[in-house]
A and B are shown apart, each in its own frame.
Chain A
Amino acid sequence: MAEAATATRPETATRQPLLAVRNLEAWYGESHVLHGVNFNVFPGEVVTLLGRNGAGKTTTLKSVMGILTKRKGSVVFQGKELMHAPARYIAREGIAFCPEERGIFSSLSVEENLMLPPQVKPGGMSVEQIFDLFPNLKERLNSQGTKLSGGEQQMLAIGRILRTGAKMLLLDEPTEGLAPVIIQHIGRTIAQLKNEGFTIVLVEQNFRFASTVADRHYVVDQGRVVDEIANADIEANLEKLHAYLGV
């Protein structure tokens, strides 16, 4: 598989990956969920992890982030091994995580939610820039965080990690359960963030959406990365994808 990646994208062979995940295994209690996940993310890329429900996509993000602590293998970010670091340390290295359930705090106002994650690196977005991306948030600053609509909560969940200066974003199913017009908004936002130099790992079930924003796709199945598809080749691989995703 590593050879395949080099063949399809020769320029990646000479670049250092920003994030390199090797033989990542993880457990929920006794249950062994990841069985050796391997993937690379290069600077400025948008990469998706595609796969069915329960394939291990979310677990992969949580293990990279150090939220899941029962894990082994190797996660190297900017040349640093993060496997034995706690989540707060990994965050301070410049990786930001947006959870699937969005994680908006109900006892905090929208503004408090937005300002909660501390700055970990210089060069984060200003609050004004975040309002440019998500104008809805500006009008609801004093509302209770969980009083927002699902789409607004998702925007808040993405918006608040843009302030921190982290340049690597892990987004877990940001389009789940949202109306098509909001999904388009999120898609445009991801494209804009890529233009501004963010590197993004996106967990998706919806490969139609994924194909509008991503450079490459990794297919996750039963706790392993089983395939890698460049976005340009996605049409040619439709049948294979349907088989993987069971759609």
Chain B
Amino acid sequence: MFELLGIPPQALFGQLLLGLINGSFYAILSLGLAVIFGLLNIINFTHGAQYMFGAFVAWMLLTYGGLGYWWALILVPIIVGITGIIIERLLIARLYHLDHLYGLLLTFGLALIIQGLLRNQYGISGLPYAIPPQLAGGQNLGFMFLPNYRGWVVVASLIVCFGTWFVIEKTRLGAYLRAATENPTLVGAFGINVPRMITLTYGFGVALAAFAGVLAAPIYSVNPNMGADLIIVVFAVVVIGGMGSILGAIITGFGLGLVEGLTKVFYPEASSVVIFVIMAIVLLFKPAGLFGRTA
């Protein structure tokens, strides 16, 4: 059995896998934030609550509706995405002509309301959500043991992230989105319904968060604080990657998950702050973020 810098490989690969799992969630969530920020110019502070709400709706579908994990994976993004569309039409749409700060305050307030309601109803101890039977168990890879569900989380988030990247960067619809991000007025003057595009984009970003929530439900217990804990790190990821950069959000998400995992192996004391230290350094030397475009 080989050792690397005195670290047993099981520990190293175990932490790398954990890092990759965390990175999967960072990537999906920061991708949603980046898409929303790009077009709406709103920093969606409700994102963490919408991720958490996704996990709760999955739990509710199972508990009250008898609909299991695979149904949840399809239905939850749609349901939570629709709530996002309603929020955008009813509330956020009224703020576009105002300073960024108003959008930030509104979405932060909404996050507190959603968390408060669910905390009041279900407490904070967390609700269990079982791993679907098809993904129970794991594989012995020789150098480490890979639980099937964790492997699935990484694969599923890679598919969703690169699917989103492909749609935005390589399709006609994505070209509309990129163009409207640059100059919504001119895109409107070509006859394209920009307000509708903005609404659907917000719904889509929220649906991504909810999808991540369903993926997370069997790993972390479903509880009202799960989003608030995660979203602070995700904001750091978005700042490091560069606001509004799609590929930047994905790569930074996975990359920082791995960095965090490695830090846990080599210097565990720093593992909870390493991302913020990187953020500070990036802000010093590249204020627009690693992948951000400077205007």
Contacts and interface: CB of A to CB of B under 8 A. Distances in A.
Contacts of A120: 191
B189 A164 contact: no
A106 interface: yes
A155 interface: no
Contacts of B191: 88-89, 91-92, 117-118, 120, 164
B190 A105 contact: no
B185 A91 contact: no
A115 B175 contact: yes
Query: Do most interface residues of chain B lie in helix, strand or loop, or is the interface mixed?
Result: helix
Contacts of B188: 67, 86-88, 91
Q: Of B178, B183, B186, B188, which is in contact with the most chain A CB atoms at under 10 Å from its CB?
A: B186
B178 A67 contact: no
A141 interface: no
Nearest to B178: A107
A161 B175 CA distance: 16
Given A88-B194, A105-B182, A116 B175 contact: yes
A227 B134 CA distance: 79
B182 A91 contact: no
A161 B189 CA distance: 11
Contact of B179 (A66, A86, A105): A105
A116 B179 contact: yes
Contacts of B50: none
Given A107-B181, A107-B182, A65 B189 contact: yes
Contacts of A116: 175-176, 179, 187, 190
Q: Of B172, B176, B185, which is in contact with the most chain A CB atoms at under 10 Å from its CB?
A: B185
B125 interface: no
A108 interface: yes
A207 interface: no
A99 interface: yes
A118 B175 contact: no
B272 interface: no
B3 to A, nearest CB: 47
Contacts of B183: 103, 105
Interface residues of B, number: 18
Given A108-B175, A112-B175, A117 B182 contact: no
Interface string A95-124: 011010001011110001001111010000
Interface string B182-217: 110111111111100000000000000000000000
A66 B190 contact: no
Given A106-B182, A107-B182, A87 B189 contact: yes
Given A105-B178, A120-B191, A99 B186 contact: yes
Contacts of A115: 172, 175
Contact of A108 (B178, B185, B189, B194): B178
Nearest to B177: A107
A190 to B, nearest CB: 20
Contacts of B189: 65-67, 87-88, 90-91, 97
B192 A107 contact: no
Nearest to B182: A105
Contacts of B172: 115
Q: Of B187, B189, B190, which is in contact with the most chain A CB atoms at under 10 Å from its CB?
A: B189
A118 B194 CA distance: 13
B200 to A, nearest CB: 15
Contacts of A67: 185, 188-189
A21 to B, nearest CB: 17
11 contacts: A65-B189, A67-B185, A89-B191, A91-B190, A91-B191, A105-B179, A106-B182, A108-B178, A112-B179, A118-B191, A164-B191
Which are the 9 A-B pairs with shortest beta-carbon distances? A91-B191, A117-B190, A107-B178, A112-B175, A87-B189, A103-B186, A92-B191, A105-B179, A87-B188
